[in-house]
């Protein structure tokens, strides 16, 4: 048995009763520890974080996808965040690097079950990818629900890894993966210029020659624009580094940063590193974190 984390993203951030049902269904699985839930109405998306032994987490993930497929209709869904499924992405995350093979095995088992029992086609991404070109989630989700609905039927390169080459009529398709812990980090600009947000995102993301281990999109919110990022290895590129990079580019355009936000949970080491950099406290360590020392001493 292996202790792992799961961080599924569901395409519902406005109807709290639906998110409540998804969360309650996952939490009801024996052995699952619910860690966090966050919903965003503009993105129309919820991120749920839970952990436990691999078998319990696998069951919790499947039941969460099952409820989402029943309650979320993508033909009526709209939001700022790209999506292709009611349960859009279901990543399994090892708490120890050596446990990645266990997460890959769980991802493949859950994905096969989702396709078989729910009729939702599944694409495997990141470490669970069966094809190298599908490691990148953005490539898997290209075209979103509406574009994939046609492409999956007509383009052999877009055929799912599990299930029939047809999206579920209302639940779409699901990306199931295994990956290291990442930080979902967003920066809102005091501007409505979507082109600016997209230009900044393009300039800082790795695939366009920007910062390593950074994925970024420019999104339009209700009253501003956002640079939405995933830091896939915070040890390589930190929150402080991407904030500084966005700030430089925003200032050059005569725009201020309105706010930033962390979505979901972040590793403790990332916050220790942030403290070192922001305060120039070069000797600061996790040993100086009160709760960490208490847990180390008493547990």
Residues 156 and 19 both lie in one domain: yes
pLDDT of residue 137: 94
pLDDT of residue 69: 98
* Domain contains 287: no
Q: What's the total number of domains in the chain?
A: 2
Residues 163 and 204 both lie in one domain: no
Residues 115 and 213 both lie in one domain: no
Whether pLDDT at 230 is above 60: yes
Q: Which among 119, 98, 87 is positioned nearest to 6, based on CA atoms?
A: 87
Among residues 43, 77, 81, 108, the one annotated as catalytic is 81
pLDDT of residue 299: 56
**Residue range 75-116, pLDDT digits in tens:** 999 999 999 999 999 999 999 889 999 999 999 999 999 999
Domain with 48 in it: what CATH number? 3.30.990.10
Lowest mean pLDDT among 98-112, 152-166, 242-256, 281-295: 281-295
Residues 147 and 25 both lie in one domain: yes
pLDDT of residue 1: 83
Residues 168 and 203 both lie in one domain: no
DSSP the chain: --EEEE--EES-SS-HHHHHHHHHHHHTSTT-EEEEEEEETTTTEEEEEEEEEHHHHHHHHHHHHHHHHHH--GGG---SS--SBSEEEEEEEESSGGGHHHHHHHHHHHHHHHHHHH---EEEEETT-SSGGGSSHHHHTTTHHHHHHHHHHH-GGG--SBS-SS-BTTTB-EEEEE----EEEEEEES---HHHHHHHHHHHSGGGTSSTTEEEEEEE-SSSEEEEEEES-TTTS-HHHHHHHHHHHHHHTT--EEEEEEES---HHHHHHHHHHHHT-TT--GGG-HHHHHHHHH-
* Domain contains 31: yes
Whether pLDDT at 211 is above 90: yes
Residues 29 and 154 both lie in one domain: yes
Q: What is the rounded (10 degree) CA torsion for 147, 153, 155, 161?
A: 100
* Domain contains 98: yes
Residues 171 and 205 both lie in one domain: no
pLDDT of residue 92: 98
With cut-offs at 50, 70 and 90, classify the pLDDT of residue 191: very high
Report the DSSP beta bridge partners of residue 89.
9, 175
- Of the three residues 157, 178, 199, the one that is the final residue of a domain is 178
214 close to 227: Cβ distance less than 8 angstroms = no
Domain with 226 in it: what CATH number? 3.30.70.670
228 close to 219: Cβ distance less than 8 angstroms = yes
Show the domain range for 218. Answer: 183-266
* Domain contains 299: no
Residues 191 and 105 both lie in one domain: no
Residues 22 and 158 both lie in one domain: yes
* Domain contains 294: no
Length of the chain counted residue by residue = 299
Residues 128 and 223 both lie in one domain: no
- Of the three residues 127, 147, 178, the one that is the final residue of a domain is 178
* Domain contains 281: no
Residues 14 and 94 both lie in one domain: yes
Please report, in angstroms and rounded to a whole number, the separation of the first and last CA atoms in the chain. Answer: 20
- Can 77 be counted among the known catalytic residues? no
- The two tokens of residue 227 are 């640079």
* Domain contains 88: yes
* Domain contains 33: yes
pTM recorded for the entire structure: 0.90
Residues 121 and 242 both lie in one domain: no
């Amino acid at each position: 048995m292996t202790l792992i984390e799961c961080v599924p993203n569901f395409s519902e951030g406005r109807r709290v009763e639906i998110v409540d049902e998804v969360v309650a269904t996952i939490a009801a699985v024996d052995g699952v520890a619910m860690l966090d839930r966050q919903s965003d109405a503009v993105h129309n998306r919820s991120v749920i974080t839970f952990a436990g032994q691999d078998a319990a987490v696998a069951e919790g993930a499947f039941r969460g996808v099952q409820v989402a497929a029943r309650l979320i209709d993508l033909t009526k869904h709209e939001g700022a965040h790209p999506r292709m499924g009611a349960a859009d992405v279901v990543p399994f995350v090892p708490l120890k690097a050596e446990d990645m093979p266990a997460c890959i095995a769980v991802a493949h088992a859950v994905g096969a079950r989702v396709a078989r029992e729910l009729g939702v086609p599944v694409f495997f991404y990141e470490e669970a990818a069966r094809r190298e070109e599908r490691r990148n989630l953005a490539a898997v989700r290209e075209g979103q629900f509406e574009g994939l609905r046609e492409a999956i039927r007509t383009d052999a390169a877009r055929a799912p890894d599990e299930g029939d080459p047809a999206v579920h009529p209302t639940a779409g398709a699901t990306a199931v993966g295994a990956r290291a812990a990442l930080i979902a980090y967003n920066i809102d600009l005091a501007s409505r210029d979507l082109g600016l947000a997209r230009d900044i995102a393009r300039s800082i993301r790795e695939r366009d020659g920007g910062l390593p281990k950074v994925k970024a999109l420019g999104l339009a919110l209700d009253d501003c624009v956002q640079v939405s990022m995933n830091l896939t290895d915070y040890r390589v590129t930190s929150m402080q580094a991407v904030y500084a990079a966005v700030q430089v580019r925003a200032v050059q355009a005569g725009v201020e940063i309105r706010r930033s936000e962390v979505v979901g949970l972040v590793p403790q080491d990332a916050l220790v590193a942030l403290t070192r950099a922001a305060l120039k406290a070069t000797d600061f360590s996790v040993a100086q974190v009160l709760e960490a020392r208490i847990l180390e001493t008493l547990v």
